Amino acid sequence: MDSEIITHAAFNLRKRVTEADNQIASQTLPKPQSPSNTQQPLSSKASSNLLPTIATENDDHLHSSALDYDLKTIIADKEGRLLSSTPKNFANELSADFNLLSLQQNHDDRQFVINIKDRRYRAMVIGDDDMLALIALPIDVHHQYLLQFNRQLSLILFAITLLLISIAALSVYWGFAPLSTIVQRMKGIHPERLSERVIVSDMPLELRPLAESYNSMMAKLESNFESLSRFSDNIAHELRTPIATLITQTQVMLNKPREEEEYVEQLHQQHDTLEQLSAMINNMLLLAKTQKGLSDSQVTTVDTEVLINKLLDYFEMIAEDRKITFVKLGDFKAVLGDEGLLQRLFANLLSNAIYYAASNSVITISATVNTPNTSVNTYKMLEDDQSNTQTAKQSWLEITFTNLLEKPLNQSEADRLFERFYRHDKTSQHHSGSGLGLSIVQAIANAHKGTVNITIKDEYCFEVTVGLLIAK
């Protein structure tokens, strides 16, 4: 833009000077008296006297927007002597060593940048046979504009950045505000406030899975805490009764001298009570042991056929007293596990089946092999150092103990039988166990990465199904 203004101004100035020369020539030319007078040239002095006046009269027309762009000119003769300037005080701004001739020699008809009184100008020197002209256009305004624009742009960018940071901070605050609800609930976890839950519908969509997981965790925590509380109460009650019995029997015997037979009888009773306490403690230790799972050295191949037959022979006389018979069906494969623990598992199931079965009934022990393609039952896979893919290709042995009950039982009550110290029929005269039998069965099955389930059919048919991994 600046170059175009300078070029346009130089063109107009040349045009005005040419018109001035023509006007001077027409006004000073004498009438022809002889041929020699027709070739007389225009005096240089007359031309130099008129050019400044013409140039001054036309300086406002060097460009159509000369006033807007503050266009300035200096007119000098060929020797560099100043003739005129526009504006008039522009000549006063020139330095003492200003030389238009040297500028014309260095930048002949080419644009250049010059500093005049601490101001930057884009300039151009033009000339003809009689004069030199400097056309200058201030360009420091552009630099000031750019500096001002740069400052304004920096302020705008700073304001926009600050605004974006504020919006981001508010968005993060509002986005994570629901998390504070979960944090507060976590801080407020107390045994008496385990029933509190996070309202999932009040959470953003992104945090609803977290809220649901938190509620699920709290539900499990509440259930486990209630089970632990019941277990503590039950174990305290179970231990208190035999200990109180021992204390009472001992005090009675110490009140006065007794016959030797009475002492012997009392000692037998105390021995039975101590055996009950010992069995309960052993059961508790077994539960604690099986919760840790099995080590590799404990896992061996166990023949369930031999194991079941040995237990049936042991419990056969007890079953005959109540006229209960055993029926064994299916192919009992060898499984992976600890033989001692599996013997305890099956012994507990047979013992419960005998003691809670109806008289003159049949207890059925059946075995079914489930291949990997079987979709009816889903079992827990062994977590070996190898992948679960290899385990998924193995088969499972499903052993089911079925007996008829003397009293009806629904499914919800049956599901509680795995709770420690829980006994459904506490008035039974046939069995006075501690309520840990099925809890031990479940713990042993879990230690073998197997399953155990109770199914009630028609309220009288009681089925317990154990799933174990078949050995290769």
- What's the confidence (pLDDT) of residue 24? 60
CA–CA gap between residue 212 and residue 272 (Å, rounded): 51
Query: What are the b/e assignments for 121-151, b being 16+ CB within 10 Å?
Result: bbbbbbbeebbbbbbbbbbeeeeeeeeeeee
Domain 2-138 - what CATH class? alpha beta
**Helix (H) or strand (E) run with residue 114 in it:** strand 112-116
Average pLDDT, consecutive stretches of 10 residues, N- to C-terminus, the chain (472 residues) = 77 75 61 42 44 48 51 84 84 81 82 84 83 84 79 94 93 80 77 80 81 87 78 72 82 83 85 81 75 78 92 89 91 89 90 88 92 52 43 79 87 81 60 71 87 88 91 80
Residues 6+ apart with CB under 8 A from 245: 273
Q: Is 242 exposed, middle or buried (0-12, 13-18, 19+ CB in 10 A)?
A: middle
| Residues 290/450, Cβ–Cβ less than 8 Å | no
Ranges of H-type helices in 29-139: 44-58, 66-69, 100-106
Sequence ranges of the domains in the chain? 2-138, 201-286, 292-469
The whole-model pTM stands at 0.50
Alpha-carbon gap, residue 427 to 417, rounded angstroms? 16
Residue keyed to tokens 């048919």: 461
Q: What confidence score (pLDDT) does residue 153 get?
A: 94
The separation between CA 170 and the C-alpha centre of its own chain, rounded to angstroms, equals 19
| Whole-number pLDDT of residue 28 | 55
Structure tokens at 399: 């052993």
Residues 6+ apart with CB under 8 A from 266: 249, 252, 253, 258
pLDDT at 178: 77
Q: How open is the CA angle 375-380-384, to the nearest 5 degrees?
A: 125
**In terms of DSSP H, where are the helices of 112-259?**
140-187, 208-255
Considering the segment(s) 292-469 as one domain, its CATH architecture is 2-Layer Sandwich (3.30)
d(CA 396, CA 7): 99
Q: State residue 94's pLDDT score.
A: 84
